[in-house]
A and B are shown apart, each in its own frame.
Chain A
Amino acid sequence: MNVLNYVAQRVVTLIPTLIGLVILTFFLSRVVPADPAALIAGEGASRQQIEALRQRYGFDQPLLTQLGIYLAQLATGNLGTSIYTGRPVLTDLRERFPATLELTLVSIALATLLGIPLGMFAALKHNSWLDHSLRACTTAGLAITGFWLAIMLQLFFSMELDLFPLGGRIGVPEPRALTGFFLLDALLSLNGTAFLSALKHITLPALTLAYPAFATIARFTRSGVLDVMQRDFILYEKAMGLPHLLITFKYLLRNALTSTVAQIGLLFGSLLAGAVVTEQVYDWPGLGLYAVESIMKFDYQATLGITLWAGVAYGAVNLMVELAQAIIDPRVVRR
């Protein structure tokens, strides 16, 4: 099947899902018993002020009309205005996105670079001490709660050893914004202190997110390699006397990594939509923190915006995963 065709088809099916998601979140954020106009006006507002706000934001209209207005607004690419920051939601999201993306990329890179080789070695030498300790390590990684791990890391590395900062993204003036990634910006503008500070700030959050991701990746790699190792074509290649390394890296890995790639994609998607609590514990100014803040404050435009964003990011990543899988294993598309 033509790849472009396939992508277009998937994008088209994604749109109704997203509209459904918006409708769901809209009603969800509007069943709130609290009066949104009163929330915006603040505590000391008079009745007239609240009434004026209600009319301005259209809260006096029936819910369905409000939904219609919101959808029409969405169609023009306008996500509305956040009640608390007072700025367009899209601007907020755009500003916070690089922080989340940077954290996600670093964590996923860390998890992948450790997970795939370790999972592979565990499978190649399975039932060895490496295999057993890796299994213990991944079992723990899948059972540990992110926010608790974050707190414990903070406790040990920040409070006791004072090696890494407790939270935030950078401790010195921000480097000149080129890409939005502080690590990269600092490198490009040759700003050593900023780079070091950014690196120190990202270490603990990245480790927190990377550990469970590493556990997943290592497990899938291990089982994938073990599975493929017993296939006939590997036996055949061994019988033909192909070099061991060639078999492992060229034939075994490619076949073994299909499900791992899918997992990496899923992890990436869920982190990109905001590692909600981890960002909260480390005060990382990304989308996860934004999501928690806007949900907690009944900031419904921002909540809708972040949910829609999460849906788009998730959908896009899933699509990319499918494409990556198709490249690794062309049989996937033909099915």
Chain B
Amino acid sequence: MKPMVLNTRMQAETTAPRVRYFPHRLWPVPSGWWLLGQKILRDRLAVVGLCILLGLLSTAVLAPSLAPFPEDITATHPAQRLRAPSWEHPLGTDTLGRDIYSRLLFGGRLTLIISCTVVGVCMAIGVPTGLIAGYYENAVSQLILRLADIFLAVPRVILALAMAQALGPSLPNLILALTVTYWPWFTLIVVAETRTVKKATFVEATEALGVRPWRTILYHVLPNVLSPLIVRSTLSMGLTIMTAAVLGFLGMGAQPPAPEWGAMIAEARLYLPDALWYATAPGLAIFLVVMGFNLLGDALRDILDPRLRRGRR
């Protein structure tokens, strides 16, 4: 069947020799991600946050070559314990004579592993459950919501602490405890967003066209849920790092000699006020990293989620 001619320009296009009318044929139209990147780079605070996070990422990856004493993760040097910062040990040494700077760099690895795994798994659980519970109104969605309610009925730290203790303190168990207590937040975010999107006319249109529900959910609802989800995930990275540090501080995280930042502060606390540098460095590291995620998250929210925009006007 001959295609219907809609306007003169299209007519011209079919008859005349092919001319490039649209600049985007020459220069690709910037994609959403490109625009997002540009907007982030224009936001000073977001750039600061991004720099902090890139710094964390690169130091974590390059920790073995950046650290002056990479063997200090396990090795101990009792002879040089609790030395103040010097050229040899920029952040001093700890109670077993280990270089705090080296341990801090390797601790960044642990922090990244913990936060990325927890948030990643939470999203993997939260997105499907949230889409189902938000899109359908049946027994399954009720079950998901009630289950989420139970986990959200107490502050996260108490439940995570009880779980980590029950499973036995170790890094995988810490990650498990944080994940189990955190996925309901993601589910509820997705549920709330899905319910909003579901009311939109285009979803109704897909129903009218006879699109299968799973297709609607996957291709029409999910992309619209994604941007608030990215915002919350970025912000929750910071929260996860803080909660992980709390559990590490209470001895529930990675076991010694692992250089977990929270655990380092707990060790250092015993040597205050003499070994000032000992407790300061890991605390500042946590502070900086959490701030990095928060700054980036705030900027992403301002860009991606106008409904939540917080007075940048």
Which stretch of A61-69, A109-117, A141-149, A174-182 is in the interface?
A141-149
B246 touches A24 (CB 8 A): no
Tell me the smallest distance from the CB of A305 to a CB of chain B, in Å: 12
Could you give 21 example pairs across A and B, Cβ below 8 Å?
Answer: A25-B159, A29-B162, A126-B311, A139-B294, A140-B287, A140-B291, A142-B294, A145-B287, A145-B290, A147-B249, A151-B279, A152-B283, A155-B279, A159-B273, A223-B311, A269-B155, A273-B154, A276-B246, A277-B250, A292-B250, A298-B165
- A44 and B200 CA atoms in complex are apart in Å by 68
For residue B310, CB closer than 8 A to chain A, the reply is yes
Q: Which one of A143, A230, A273 has the highest number of Cβ atoms from chain B below 10 Å of its Cβ?
A: A143
Which stretch of B103-111, B145-153, B215-223 is in the interface?
B145-153
For residue B157, CB closer than 8 A to chain A, the reply is yes
For residue A198, CB closer than 8 A to chain B, the reply is no
One digit per residue, 1 when the CB lies within 8 angstroms of any chain B CB and 0 when it does not, for chain A 287-312 equals 00001100110100001001100110
One digit per residue, 1 when the CB lies within 8 angstroms of any chain B CB and 0 when it does not, for chain A 1-38 equals 00000000000000011101100110011011100000
For residue B61, CB closer than 8 A to chain A, the reply is no
For residue A219, CB closer than 8 A to chain B, the reply is yes
A24 touches B287 (CB 8 A): no
Chain B interface SS verdict (over half):
helix
One digit per residue, 1 when the CB lies within 8 angstroms of any chain A CB and 0 when it does not, for chain B 113-131 equals 0000000000000000000
Contact among B162, B246, B250 with A307 in the assembled complex (CB-CB below 8 Å): B162
A147 touches B146 (CB 8 A): no
Q: Chain B residues near A159: list those with CB within 8 A.
A: 272-273
Q: Chain A residues near B163: list those with CB within 8 A.
A: 28
Q: Chain A residues near B167: list those with CB within 8 A.
A: 31
Contact among A20, A28, A280 with B162 in the assembled complex (CB-CB below 8 Å): A28
B295 touches A148 (CB 8 A): no
B310 touches A223 (CB 8 A): yes
For residue B188, CB closer than 8 A to chain A, the reply is no
Tell me the smallest distance from the CB of A23 to a CB of chain B, in Å: 8
Near B by CB (< 8 A), chain A positions 222-261 give 222-223, 226-227, 230
Q: Chain A residues near B280: list those with CB within 8 A.
A: 152
Q: Chain B residues near A315: list those with CB within 8 A.
A: 153
Known contacts being A29-B162, A291-B161, is A145 close to B283, with CB within 8 Å? yes
Q: Chain A residues near B295: list those with CB within 8 A.
A: 139
The interface of chain B, by Cβ under 8 A from chain A, is 146-147, 149-151, 153-155, 157-159, 161-163, 165-168, 238, 242, 245-246, 249-250, 262, 265, 269, 272-273, 276, 279-280, 283, 286-288, 290-291, 294-295, 310-311, 313
For residue A165, CB closer than 8 A to chain B, the reply is no
Known contacts being A139-B291, A223-B311, A226-B313, is A307 close to B158, with CB within 8 Å? yes
Contact among B155, B265, B290 with A314 in the assembled complex (CB-CB below 8 Å): B155
For residue A123, CB closer than 8 A to chain B, the reply is yes
One digit per residue, 1 when the CB lies within 8 angstroms of any chain B CB and 0 when it does not, for chain A 187-198 equals 000000000000
- A298 and B167 CA atoms in complex are apart in Å by 11
